Amino acid sequence: MSKYTHALLLALLFLLPASICSAKGYKTTEFAIIIPSYNNEKWVVKNLESIFSQSYPWYTVYYINDCSSDTTGALVNEFIRTKGLSHKCNVIHNTVRKGALANIYETIHKIAPDKVIVTVDGDDYLAHQYVLHTLAYAYADKNVWMTYGNFRTAPANWGSCCTKIPRQVAKTNTFRTYKWVASHLRTFYAKLFHNIKKEDLLWNGQFFPMTWDMAFMFPMMEMASKKHYQFIPDVLYIYNVNNPINDYRVNSQLQNDLDKYIRAMPPYAPLDSLF
């Protein structure tokens, strides 16, 4: 069986009218794709093409142009206008720069709790047109509250840090002392994110400027530790390593310091139910 077989089968299923799918007992997962973006004019088109080429129809995009100083905002506007996608995409143009985590936090708190959030950085892109079908297949299991992994880098194929987390780590709720594996592609129910305390996403009174994925993934993994998270081994995401403003290029020391700071925080208690 090929690695995309399940996604392709689900793609065929969702070609049926929604009423038929519902009658047959299949769950229609609605996705909210959040794209925080700053100075990504080189990658805007490829990023958006990978999103809007998805064969799965039930999704909405939130593109946050974080006060870019280049032509990112204009390129996004032009793409959405010429492709006639205004009904599928909410474009927010910040007049002051807020940072990725602040944008993600504010956006998710405006989204219904039963929507599944998909985060895609503005300089990255989805690996193929069946990504959302693959995710819908995972979320067809009502016990799944969140997923993570897997990605490859571009243009250099460095591979990925994502692997399946040993069950013992989940049982002992020791995600913060285990190696970091819960990376792209990150997806989760909005309600799970809503349960994170805002103060746990702050450093010196501001949202984490980097390493922010760890800041929200650790709490959600902990809350979902009773077999409510899933590792997806198929590559669903392409991580652009050529961007000169990647965190590890800008300030690797701060990145390491924030890693330690987040890992030192007390873990969240596992949840028995989400909805």
Give the CA-trace dihedral at 91, 97, 101, 104, to 10 degrees: -20
Which candidate, 14, 12, 10, 80, places its Cα nearest to that of 52? 80
Q: Which residues of the chain have pLDDT under 50?
A: 1-5, 7, 14-25
Write down the pLDDT at residue 252.
80
Q: What is the pLDDT of residues 222-270, one digit of tens each?
A: 999 999 999 999 999 999 988 655 555 556 889 899 999 999 999 999 9
Which residues are CB-neighbours of 46 under 8 A, at least 6 positions away? Answer: 125
Write down the pLDDT at residue 102.
98
Write down the pLDDT at residue 188.
98
First to last CA, the chain: 34
The structural domains of the chain, ordered by start, are 29-263 (3.90.550.10)
Write down the pLDDT at residue 24.
39
Write down the pLDDT at residue 10.
52
Write down the pLDDT at residue 85.
97
Quickly count: other Cβ atoms within 10 Å of residue 20's Cβ.
11
CA R_g for the chain: 18
Residue type, 160: S
Q: Is 147 helix (H, G, I), strand (E, B) or coil?
A: strand
